[in-house]
Amino acid sequence: MKCIFHGAAREVGRSCIEVQTAQGNYLLDCGVKFTHDGFAYPDKLFASSKRVDAIFLSHAHLDHSGGLPLIEHYGITCPIFCTHQTLAITRLLLKDSYKIARIKHLHAAFDKVDLKEVRKDARRVKPDKLYRFKNVLFRFLNAGHIPGSASILLDVDGKRLLYTGDFNTRTTRLMRPADYQSIAAEYGPIDCLITESTYGARELPKRPALERDFLDSVRRVVKRGGTVLVPVFAVGRAQEILILLAREQWPCPIYFDGMAKEVTRKILLHQSTHVSNKDILNEMYMKRTTLISSQQRRMLAAKTRPGIIVTTSGMLQGGPAMIYLKQLWHDPTNAVFLTGYQVPGTTGYRLLTKGSVYIDGWKTFVKCPVRKFDFSGHADTEDIKQAIKAINPRLLIIQHGEPESVDHLLAWAKQEGFDARGPAVGDAITI
């Protein structure tokens, strides 16, 4: 069996691993990477052959799913295995990415019709259940990252391979954690572990202190009569923030806007044993927040004080967040609380590091306080090391991380006696 890394190797984005086996070629994820001038798709995916027998999709985020329509565009028809929630959310995100590509005049490399084909080829699988396809036995196991997310266990050509996808081993308000200790006990030994390493070289703050700090900070702004803009990622972070806000009674309205609304509806609609606090999320969504339509948005942005506005996008790259910021930036009573990692080059990153954004083409220094709260759906360096130790694989492959993250984990793993590799894009590893 051979694994070829077409993306997310010493980088984050465009996850796509081709698994060549005796009886078929399979893909683990097929994502895109967002660049300053468009998208980067998996590298040389069809360089050796145009054969793909099945795709195993770990979760809905576009850096794992955004290349699926491209496969369809090449006329390749094969089953796409994923969980119910992953399919529902992937469809929303793909549709949205197509829309944004058209609005921004970016080349999406696929047509609208390809999105429909993705739906047709999707095969929904239940978590933990054993399935067979051709020469592969597989299971989707909870990854704790976002609703629907899975680590994928494959038995093929006499080898057992575990692909973590993106994972989190900490309990969050929304997700039950991935449990590699139990996976190892039940399905070990594992011949090859392919792990993500997004935070491979970083420690994240402990949840309880972070949550307290966030709620206290929101309360202070509301108390002084200001409005807090809380930019969130549509999947996972938006819901987590709502569940967190539900812990207190607020003397002001909570507004909920952007794509996060539709994603929340999908999460509430689909059954999942791995999603926590659904009743609280439901109550927030149905009763305690005001859902804002695009018609209401501008009027609301101009007059709401005090208030809490939870809206996409998480890095201020489009979405209603910028419309609100345009009304809120000049008044120091207000605040902007970012709720996750800001990719260099994004508006959120610029706001955080330089204190300015471009509003209607004008460079604008934001006068209200801006803070980042490091909520994360990923494991940090200690969590990843614990997971690797729990699985104790014969071969360890570290990917989905910037070079410094991969190198940090590689050095640690080698010291611990693991046979560890950190492939670059285009590399092949025989297992």
**CB-nearer residue toward Zn ion: 150 or 413:** 150
Shortest spacing between CB 234 and Zn ion, in angstroms: 12
Q: Least CB distance from residue 226 to Zn ion, whole Å?
A: 32
Query: Pick from 29, 72, 96, 166: which binds Zn ion (CB under 5 A)?
Result: 166
Of 56-64, 107-115, 239-247, 363-371, the window that binds Zn ion (rule: CB under 5 A) is 56-64
Number of residues that make up the chain: 431
Please, which of residues 289-318 interact with Zn ion by CB under 5 A? none
CA distance 168 to 340: 14
Query: Cα–Cα distance between 207 and 58 in angstroms, integer?
Result: 25
For residue 173, the minimal CB distance to Zn ion (Å) is 17
Give whichever of 160 and 400 is closer to Zn ion, judged by the CB atom.
400
Give the Cα-Cα-Cα angle 124, 276, 212 (nearest 5 degrees).
140
Which of 148/423 has CB closer to Zn ion?
148
Site for Zn ion in 344-373 (CB under 5 A): none
Least distance between Zn ion and beta carbon 167 (Å): 9
Q: By rule CB under 5 A, what count of residues binds Zn ion?
A: 2
Minimum Å distance from CB 246 to Zn ion?
Answer: 24
Q: Which is nearer to Zn ion, 25 or 317 (CB)?
A: 317
Please provide the DSSP assignment of 105-124 as one string: T---SS-HHHHHHHHHHEEE
Which of the ranges 133-141, 163-171, 333-341, 408-416 carries the binding residues for Zn ion, by CB under 5 A? 163-171
Selected range binding Zn ion among 83-91, 159-167, 346-354, 383-391, rule: CB under 5 A: 159-167
Q: Beta strand pairing status for 419-421 and 395-398?
A: parallel
Given the complex with Zn ion, which of 15 and 264 has the nearer CB atom?
Answer: 15
Distance CA 324, CA 297 (A): 8
Site string for Zn ion, 194-213 (x = CB under 5 A): --------------------
Residue 18 or residue 166: which is nearer to Zn ion going by CB?
Answer: 166
- Strands (E) in 247-402, as ranges, are 254-257, 290-291, 307-311, 335-338, 356-359, 362-365, 370-372, 395-398
Name the segment binding Zn ion (CB under 5 A); options: 76-84, 123-131, 161-169, 301-309.
161-169
- 80 φ, ψ (degrees, to nearest 5): -115, 110
Q: Please state the closest distance from residue 84 (CB atom) to Zn ion, in A.
A: 17
Instruction: Pick between residue 57 and residue 357 the one whose CB is nearest to Zn ion.
Output: 57
In the chain, the N- to C-terminal Cα span, in Å, equals 6
Among residues 11 and 166, whose Cβ is nearest to Zn ion? 166
What is the full DSSP assignment across 300-343? HHHH--SEEEEES-TTSSSSTHHHHHHHHTT-TTSEEEE-S---
Q: How far is the CB of 374 from Zn ion (least distance, A)?
A: 16
Q: Which is nearer to Zn ion, 242 or 379 (CB)?
A: 379
Among 61, 173, 237, 400, binds Zn ion (CB under 5 A): 61
**Cβ-based burial of 151 (10 A; exposed 0-12, middle 13-18, buried ≥19):** buried
Sheet holding 192-195, edge to edge: 131-133, 136-142, 150-156, 159-163, 192-195, 395-398, 419-421
**For residue 29, which phi and psi values (nearest 5 degrees)?**
65, 160
29 binds Zn ion (CB under 5 A): no
Type and span of the H or E element at 263: helix 260-269
The closest alpha carbon to 192, from 145, 150, 166, 154, belongs to 154
For the bound state, the minimum distance from the C-beta of residue 79 to Zn ion, rounded and expressed in Å, comes to 22
Residues lying near Zn ion in the complex (CB under 5 A): 61, 166
